[in-house]
Chains A and B, each alone.
Chain A
Amino acid sequence: MTNGWIDIKNTDMMLIMGGNPAENHPCGFKWAMEAKRNRNAKIISVDPRFTRTSATADLFLQIRAGTDIAFLGGLIRYAIENNRIAKEYLVNYTNASFIVKEGFKLPEDGLYSGFDSATGKYDLSTWNYEGTGGSGGQAGSTGHAPEPTPGKVGGAVPPPALPTDVSYDLTLQHPRCVFQLLKQQYSRYTPDVVERITGIPKDQYLKAIDLFTSVRKDGDMKKVATIIYAVGWTQHTFGTQIIRTAAMIQLLLGNVGRAGGGVNALRGHSNIQGATDMAGLYDSLPGYLKAPALTDTDLAAYLKRTTPTASKPTPWASFNYYSNTPKFVVSLLKSFYGDAATKENGFAFDYLPKAGQDCSWTHIWEDMYNGKIKGMLAFGMNGVMIGPDTNKNINALKKADWLVVGEIYEDETSEFWRAPGISPEEQKNINTTVYRLPCAGFAEKDGTMTNSARWVTWKYAAVPPPGQARLDQDIIAQIFLRVRDLYKKEGGKFPDPILNLSWAYADAAHPPLAQVAMELNGKALADLKDDVTGQVIKAGQQLPGFAWLKDDGTTMCGNWIYSGMWTEAGSQVQRRGTEDPSGMGVFPNWAWSWPANRRILYNRASCNPEGKPWDADRKQIWWNEAAGKWVGNDVPDFKPDSHPNDHMGPFIMNPEGIGRLFAPIGVLADGPFPEHYEPIESPVKNPFHPEQSNNPLVKKFNTPFDKFGSPEEYSIVCTTYRLTEQYHYWTKNNPMNVQLIPEPFVEIPVELADEKGIRGTDKIKVISARGTYIAKAFVTRRLKPMMIDGKKVYQIGLPIHQGFRGIQEDKDRDARTPANLLTPAVTDPNAHTPESKGFLVKVEKA
């Protein structure tokens, strides 16, 4: 989240889309209810079905799964057309005025300029600003490393760079300025087209977008709107672009950086934010640093590629905080390799693995299926259930040599070899050795959890792990120590990274997580002195924050964004101060949020260019002329002493310093502006460009399990979701949850049920090209038939919680099938999230 949970209570307007917080974040949703009760805040709920969130909403719109960009694009068009934009904010804090290079083409035909159909990739050079200078890195993007020339390490063509001095037009009239291009891009997204694509009747749609944009009626800045979403947006082959559209709307409306505003992702697990912060993804290093690529021949090359230089209109200033990348990286390497990381050896950069291919989720299973991956350690990760395409995953595991599952109960992954449909004969032929390690449950371990609001909170173990269950860090430590010993004794291919890995814990086999946390915070490795303030930090002391990180090896830090969480003053994450002087839910002394305990990101944008808050009643930070710095109720997410006259951009993590309406050169691989693409399995062709219906960068796999269905045979759109009463795949082992929701079901419209002669609680089959899901029908009025581009389309949905192992499952009551049997293994090209929502099925009585 750019903002936070409690901050939601400050909002005037909520668009809840691609998310169902009432059901999946009931405790956090309290704050939405507070906003409703205390501020008369309005809620607009847009979802494929009427959920318990919709039940509290002022307006509900049923949308076809996967058509969110059409909806949001139409919203942009409406906002611009009706002058419901934050003009001053737009001009000063976004790249609306930046002029884009000649040669850039919008995707009227579904493709941006630069697409090479032979390679299936984009040449990004036209996706850039016009301007001069610029030989720096790749603009701090989340973009991808340049393609290596096969067989050749290094020497690839350097990617295009942003100009250091960007051409701009503050009147926003230049035909190639971002604002005009934006207008042009979404001029196609008329309410009629939106109705054709999404199935939302025009009058309802207009009512909703009118309501949402009313916060900026006539450009008045007082009110604030927030956009709240979850995996209803991310789980598409264009998921990141959906979120981009939302970010653009919030920039257009001037809601980012303000209390009650922002772009707010609701994470689906109590520490998934922590997992992504710590680089649980193959293409990043802790703190969202870029993972090294094959083309990074050494540290210098890597830093050159990944350290952006500022790119902006000349009179403006840009903090360009990622210019400090070398400090973060070197400190990280020092934390990994300690004394073995020296200036001479590029701080052991060579020890870091470089991925030569996509190693994201679906590729892992593909590689395992093809025999490239021999074994897997799965910790608290039920891969067979998480999917997509459960059958493919099961068949991949059949081919693996070994599987280690660390869990608190027997899960489907560790039991893949006796999944329903596998005969005893076939079981005999499965040669995978499965090891089950009993692990500690969440109440049995301490450590930190990072929530959606980026608040890092230390938690304490309530009870010790039972029986032989061990703590996760103990298991990993002990595996590491033994592997290291083996390398010591037997040698091997390039053992240096293992042998030299820093492991300086009080008890190597049982590393205390407090020590790990201190390591993440970072410490000085030599005496450090701040030339400006004179402050001194002695060697061995915890660092106060990332501003102290150095690129010369005198500091170490396991994750720069977590620097400040465990300082010499103590563990900040254990704080429980309940003071909230501003009354806005900041609670500055409760736990610790990254970065630097800032609760709302980009909060400089809560003020106008002169440094005065847009809304005096919801002041966050402001410029104090006398003190010569930014002060307020939150930690400024900004250079503290930058005078408003410097015109430094609030979006300090971008090299431009501004929020991007236009995302240049590969920030997102599939386009600088989001474009509506159909889900890979769709009932209709894309009304905008039927010949390029889908995202051109989406790849399909070719195993026998990667089948796709045609809309003629599979005419029903299917989506998947969670319920309040169950949590993913493990609460089916808990009597309480099983009591509340005892059986799997499929929610189908009354009309569809009547057509097929299905009554509520009849067993039915939901069939996709990949598998069959069997459950009882839940005939409901909360899902209505839709008219999509003139065609009647049904939409159904199913919760994901049951599988083939659990309390009821073990009693052999009904066939219980994983929901992901149905879903396709196609992913978003940027975040690699699978398209679990919006695929095609057919429905039959069982």
Chain B
Amino acid sequence: MSQAATELIRISGHAGVVPGKGLNREFQVCKLVDTTTCIGCKACEVACLEWNGYTFSETTFDNTYQTMPETAWNYWNLIKFNEHERADGTMMLLMRKDQCMHCADPGCLAACPADAAIVQYANGIVDFQEANCIGCGYCMTGCPFNIPKFDPPSRKVFKCTLCNDRVSVGLEPACIKACPTGCLHFGTKSEMKELAETRATQLRENSGFQDAGVYDPAGVGGTHVIYVLHDAKNPELYGGLPKDPHVPLSVRLWKGPLKWIGNFGMIFGVVGVFIHYLRFGPKVVKEDEQESHGGTP
């Protein structure tokens, strides 16, 4: 039962306000990834695999520590590595855990044509319901983070579920449980945002990262996975994290104005021809006229 349902609204014989009444309880969950304390150990990659029951697959060495180039239908979270040399010549090895961002305004959901193939919960988790997925791949086009991945044999698309099955029974996601350095945090969105901002401030004031900040992109309405970055001005350095992600314009246009225009057009068209028929009737050929009057030719 939802927590909101058992909130107290009246108490007998009680002086003063009803405690907790009308409190704005926050249900939004959030995963905070602090890239400044990530050590790229991949415990999160393995935990995700094991929790979700996927087997290990063959990989190839590709001049990087990265396990594979991108997340896959059966590999939902991936540490991306980037060797970055700063202007002053110092080295950085940027390591970012890449997975679904669970956007508040998800592009995948906006683009998906299949009924209930993608759902968004009150807690912010965006989940694929594979039973309803038709395998069209529109979600892949709608997502600005290149997250949903297609599996040809099953013809379904998969992505990180923010461990919805664990979260819904009060557990933290598997990746968070596995992280050894505690660079992954889990809690409510406001808690995590506060923690992230505190950490970013700490980085700016104490670690010489003047551009440290929190990545919580407004273009997709904010996300339920946020990052603390050493350099929030250049998120692309972190394995291609988009600077200003948003639901693509073409998807917006299609689902917005084009829908209206198209629907109106089609309805207008059908109604229009019906009205035309009422008004003008069919084109009649002479012989028909004769026949209709029953006269002899």
Residues of A within 8 A of B (CB): 22-23, 26-27, 29-30, 33-34, 36-37, 40, 50-56, 58, 60, 723-725, 735-736, 738-743, 745, 760-761, 776-782
Known: A30-B182, A52-B39. A742 touches B59 (CB 8 A): yes
Choice from A58, A738, A776 contacting B207 with Cβ under 8 Å: A58
Query: Is the Cβ of B56 less than 8 Å from the Cβ of A53?
Result: no
Query: Is the Cβ of A56 less than 8 Å from the Cβ of B182?
Result: no
Chain B residue nearest to A783 in the complex (CB): B91
Choice from B55, B61, B182, B208 contacting A743 with Cβ under 8 Å: B61
Query: Is the Cβ of A739 less than 8 Å from the Cβ of B93?
Result: no
Known: A26-B41, A33-B182. A56 touches B62 (CB 8 A): no
A residues less than 8 Å from B43 (CB atoms) = 26
> Is B45 in contact with chain A by the CB < 8 A criterion?
yes
Query: Is the Cβ of A33 less than 8 Å from the Cβ of B42?
Result: no
Within the assembled complex, what's the spacing in Å between the Cα atoms of A832 and B199? 45
> Is B95 in contact with chain A by the CB < 8 A criterion?
yes
Known: A736-B46, A745-B61, A779-B63. A36 touches B41 (CB 8 A): no
Q: Which residues 48-79 in B have Cβ within 8 Å of A in the complex? A: 49, 55-65, 67
Known: A26-B180, A761-B61. A724 touches B37 (CB 8 A): no
> Is B7 in contact with chain A by the CB < 8 A criterion?
no
The 17 listed contacts between A and B (C-beta, < 8 Å) are A51-B93, A54-B91, A56-B36, A56-B37, A58-B208, A724-B40, A735-B55, A735-B56, A739-B56, A740-B42, A740-B46, A740-B67, A745-B61, A761-B61, A776-B63, A780-B63, A781-B85
Query: Is the Cβ of B95 less than 8 Å from the Cβ of A26?
Result: no
Residues of B within 8 A of A (CB): 36-37, 39-43, 45-46, 49, 55-65, 67, 83, 85, 90-95, 180-183, 199, 202, 206-208
Query: Is the Cβ of A761 less than 8 Å from the Cβ of B39?
Result: no
Query: Is the Cβ of B208 less than 8 Å from the Cβ of A782?
Result: no
Choice from B37, B67, B93, B180 contacting A36 with Cβ under 8 Å: B37
Known: A33-B182, A781-B83. A739 touches B41 (CB 8 A): no
B residues less than 8 Å from A779 (CB atoms) = 63
Within the assembled complex, what's the spacing in Å between the Cα atoms of A29 and B202? 20
Choice from A29, A52, A776 contacting B180 with Cβ under 8 Å: A29
Query: Is the Cβ of B63 less than 8 Å from the Cβ of A778?
Result: yes
Query: Is the Cβ of B61 less than 8 Å from the Cβ of A23?
Result: no
A467 to chain B minimum Cβ distance, whole angstroms, is: 23
B residues less than 8 Å from A22 (CB atoms) = 39-41, 181
A residues less than 8 Å from B41 (CB atoms) = 22-23, 26, 52, 724-725
A233 to chain B minimum Cβ distance, whole angstroms, is: 20
With A33-B37, A54-B93, A58-B208 known, 18 other A-B pairs at CB within 8 A are A26-B39, A26-B41, A26-B43, A27-B180, A29-B181, A34-B182, A37-B202, A40-B207, A55-B93, A56-B39, A724-B42, A725-B42, A736-B56, A738-B56, A740-B46, A741-B61, A761-B62, A782-B83
Known: A724-B39, A739-B67, A761-B63. A33 touches B181 (CB 8 A): yes
Choice from B49, B95, B202 contacting A52 with Cβ under 8 Å: B95
Query: Is the Cβ of B183 less than 8 Å from the Cβ of A33?
Result: yes
Within the assembled complex, what's the spacing in Å between the Cα atoms of A451 and B291? 106
Chain B residue nearest to A28 in the complex (CB): B180
Query: Is the Cβ of A742 less than 8 Å from the Cβ of B61?
Result: yes
Query: Is the Cβ of A37 less than 8 Å from the Cβ of B56?
Result: no
Query: Is the Cβ of B39 less than 8 Å from the Cβ of A53?
Result: yes
Chain A residue nearest to B49 in the complex (CB): A736
B residues less than 8 Å from A56 (CB atoms) = 36-37, 39
A residues less than 8 Å from B55 (CB atoms) = 735
Query: Is the Cβ of A740 less than 8 Å from the Cβ of B45?
Result: yes
Chain A residue nearest to B94 in the complex (CB): A55
Within the assembled complex, what's the spacing in Å between the Cα atoms of A1 and B256? 64
B residues less than 8 Å from A776 (CB atoms) = 61, 63
A602 to chain B minimum Cβ distance, whole angstroms, is: 28
Within the assembled complex, what's the spacing in Å between the Cα atoms of A102 and B72? 72
Known: A55-B39, A55-B95. A26 touches B181 (CB 8 A): yes
What 6 pairs across the A-B complex have the smallest Cβ distances? A760-B63, A22-B39, A55-B93, A743-B61, A739-B56, A735-B56
Query: Is the Cβ of B56 less than 8 Å from the Cβ of A50?
Result: no
B37 to chain A minimum Cβ distance, whole angstroms, is: 4
Within the assembled complex, what's the spacing in Å between the Cα atoms of A735 and B56? 6
A residues less than 8 Å from B94 (CB atoms) = 55
Query: Is the Cβ of B60 less than 8 Å from the Cβ of A743?
Result: yes
Query: Is the Cβ of B59 less than 8 Å from the Cβ of A55?
Result: no
B residues less than 8 Å from A29 (CB atoms) = 39, 180-181
Chain B residue nearest to A775 in the complex (CB): B61
Chain B residue nearest to A761 in the complex (CB): B63
A835 to chain B minimum Cβ distance, whole angstroms, is: 27
A residues less than 8 Å from B62 (CB atoms) = 760-761
B193 to chain A minimum Cβ distance, whole angstroms, is: 17
B110 to chain A minimum Cβ distance, whole angstroms, is: 34
Chain B residue nearest to A776 in the complex (CB): B61
A residues less than 8 Å from B57 (CB atoms) = 739
Query: Is the Cβ of B45 less than 8 Å from the Cβ of A23?
Result: no
A151 to chain B minimum Cβ distance, whole angstroms, is: 57
Query: Is the Cβ of A52 less than 8 Å from the Cβ of B93?
Result: yes
Within the assembled complex, what's the spacing in Å between the Cα atoms of A354 and B55? 53
B237 to chain A minimum Cβ distance, whole angstroms, is: 13
B residues less than 8 Å from A778 (CB atoms) = 61, 63-64
Within the assembled complex, what's the spacing in Å between the Cα atoms of A27 and B180? 5
Within the assembled complex, what's the spacing in Å between the Cα atoms of A739 and B90? 31
B residues less than 8 Å from A34 (CB atoms) = 182
B225 to chain A minimum Cβ distance, whole angstroms, is: 20
Query: Is the Cβ of B40 less than 8 Å from the Cβ of A52?
Result: yes
B residues less than 8 Å from A37 (CB atoms) = 37, 199, 202
A residues less than 8 Å from B42 (CB atoms) = 724-725, 740
A residues less than 8 Å from B37 (CB atoms) = 33, 36-37, 56
B36 to chain A minimum Cβ distance, whole angstroms, is: 7
Within the assembled complex, what's the spacing in Å between the Cα atoms of A743 and B57? 14
Within the assembled complex, what's the spacing in Å between the Cα atoms of A782 and B182? 25
Known: A742-B60, A743-B61, A761-B61. A40 touches B181 (CB 8 A): no
Within the assembled complex, what's the spacing in Å between the Cα atoms of A51 and B202? 23
Within the assembled complex, what's the spacing in Å between the Cα atoms of A745 and B39? 20
Query: Is the Cβ of B63 less than 8 Å from the Cβ of A60?
Result: no
Query: Is the Cβ of B39 less than 8 Å from the Cβ of A23?
Result: yes
Query: Is the Cβ of A60 less than 8 Å from the Cβ of B39?
Result: no
Within the assembled complex, what's the spacing in Å between the Cα atoms of A735 and B183? 26
